[in-house]
Amino acid sequence: MPLDFAPDGGDEAALSQVSVSVHDVGAATYPQRPPFDPPEAYPELTPRPSLLDSQNRIYPAVRETLHQLGLDAGRFGTASWNPFGDIVRPGDRVVVKPNLVRHFHGDGLTTESLITHGSILRAILDYTLVALRGQGKLTVGDSPLQYADFPTCMRLSGAEAVLQSVRERTRFDVRAVDFRKERSEKRDGIIISRIPNNGDPMGYRAVELGDSSRFRGLGERSPRFRVTQYDPATMNLSHSPVRNAYLFPATILDADVVINLPKLKTHRKAGITAAMKNLVGINGSKDWLPHHTFGSVAEGGDEYLAPCWRKRVSSTVRDRMEAAESRFAKRFWKTVDRGVLATRRFLPLPDPYFEGSWYGNDTIWRTVHDLHRVLFFADRDGIIRDTPQRRYLALIDGIVAGEREGPMHPSPKRGGVLVASTNPLAADLVCCRLMGFDERKLPVLNFAVGNGFHPALARAEEIDLRANVERWTRLFSLKRAETLAFEPSSGWKGHIELEG
């Protein structure tokens, strides 16, 4: 994408077009020894690492992915190579945003397919510090699910050890921030308490999008916007016929640069999650994020397809359960909900869809687009401006990716790829094709291409696709069988796959 600033050095032309780098690692395994030291002392690293990990294939893969994208290409292999020199300036405030989600896999598996691996973070932090040259602020932050244990997520991913190593090696104060304003305690599938969280030390800003919101003109739907296991009363305050607002951590709004490190997965509500959907984690409260609309399609909702009184009762009961203050009341409503849905054992439901987890979801893509509008155009006070306010890079972790019931119950998919771009839409179009899906069948992508999304992209064919494997350079002409062929979530199966 064209940049709105004069770079300090490097190859400006490399960033003036919509380029995406796909690096096939050749193996789908991560190094096992935090803090994931590089296998050799590359000349550009300062200070040079005193310890090396000869088994680490991810560090050189990240390095090659950035080089392949054309970042400071002319100086690659020299001590002066600075891949982030056109993105990060000395003195900048930089936020690195991994995908942490939660501290356990819903099916009892490891978290490798669930959260961004720390070996990706290690390389990105090293090159960010090369660009900062000892000046500025560096924050690693995310807003995982309300009941997620943030410290455990950091430990399991290896991120905690990575940050400690960076501090010891460079004496640079890298902060880890849990952006959630509130967290919760969950037992037996019920949110039993909500607990104020330390959250962003810089505080929060309510950002009003006004007419630039993708929800513009849908005010009649706003009382029915929902996000599962959150109180709809808060949602009704942030989204109404006259308001579409989002609660943003001030650390995000204060940033000059955001580096996005998503995990490549299928997603029950959005179809896929990569660079674009990962921005759900830069908010301060998910109560402000519409994920689906109450009711069937015929009733003006997108929670499920066909009208069904039992589903409607179930959704109403769940709203009351989330609004209830006592644990007794919550358990009572949970019991009622189970009783209503138990009737499907002898009386089938008209369709299998719940909670907007299907291909007809017309809500979540609008939220994702709005979050990008804020990320790129909201100033430090949360006021939407006409020009971009910060720079951006995405590097997607598809080494061990997730298919089927992502994002919380993904089945591990040995993808073995990394994808990088300064354009989140271009990155996701490439990820979509790598997964064997048709971007025209995914609203989050279809309604972004040529439809006022920023950064703009008129059509997928505009992408300058760079890859170390010849097959991926022909990605947009491949049949499904030639791709990584992810299996979609059950609510999307048969609706988004490429032909062939």
The reply to whether 4 falls in a domain is: no
Q: CB-side exposure of 478: number of CA atoms within 13 Å?
A: 21
**Is 120 a member of any domain?**
yes
- Domain assignment present for residue 313? The answer is no
pLDDT at 410 over 80: yes
In a domain, 299, yes or no: no
Q: What is the pLDDT of residue 315?
A: 97
- Which region, left, alpha or beta, applies to residue 329 given φ > 0 means left and ψ of -120 to 50 means alpha? alpha
Q: To 5 degrees, how large is the angle CA 225–CA 230–CA 235?
A: 40
In a domain, 29, yes or no: yes
Position 17 scores a pLDDT of 72
**Nearest to 314, CA basis, from 271, 349, 268, 364:** 349
How deeply is 296 buried, as exposed, middle or buried, from its count of CB atoms within 10 A (0-12, 13-18, 19+)?
buried
Higher pLDDT, 104 or 9: 104
Q: 98 or 191, which is more confident?
A: 98
- What percentage of residues in the chain have a pLDDT greater than 90? 91
Instruction: Give the pLDDT band of residue 49 (cuts 50, 70, 90).
Output: confident
Helix (H) or strand (E) holding 192: strand 190-196
Residue 224 lies in a domain: no
Query: Could you tell me the residue range of the domain that residue 388 belongs to?
Result: 12-183+247-290+365-482
pLDDT band of residue 360 (cuts 50, 70, 90) is very high
Give mean pLDDT, residues 457-480. 96
User: Which of 69, 74, 125 lies closest to 423 in space, CA to CA?
Assistant: 69
Confidence of residue 430 (pLDDT cuts 50, 70, 90): very high
Mean pLDDT, range 343-367, rounded to an integer? 97
> Residue 5 — very low, low, confident or very high, per pLDDT cuts 50/70/90?
very low
Q: Is residue 327 part of a domain?
A: no
Domain count, the chain: 1
pLDDT at 311 over 90: yes
CA angle 25, 50, 60 (to 5 degrees): 10
Q: How far apart are CA 429 and CA 276, in angstroms?
A: 10
484: CB partners within 8 A, 6+ apart: 401, 413, 415, 417, 434, 435, 436
Q: Cis link prior to 407 (omega < 30° from 0)?
A: yes
pLDDT tens figures, 157-192: 999 999 999 999 999 999 999 999 999 999 888 888
Tokens of 71: 């970042």
Beta-carbon contacts of 325 under 8 Å, excluding residues fewer than 6 positions away, are none
Which residue in 275, 292, 303, 281 sits closest to 448, CA to CA? 275
Does residue 389 fall inside a structural domain? Answer: yes
In this predicted structure, what is the pLDDT of residue 15? Answer: 44
- d(CA 401, CA 418) in angstroms, rounded, equals 10
What distance lies between CA 169 and its chain's CA centroid?
29
- Residue 108 CB contacts under 8 Å (≥ 6 apart), including other chains: none
Q: What is the mean pLDDT of residues 457-476?
A: 95
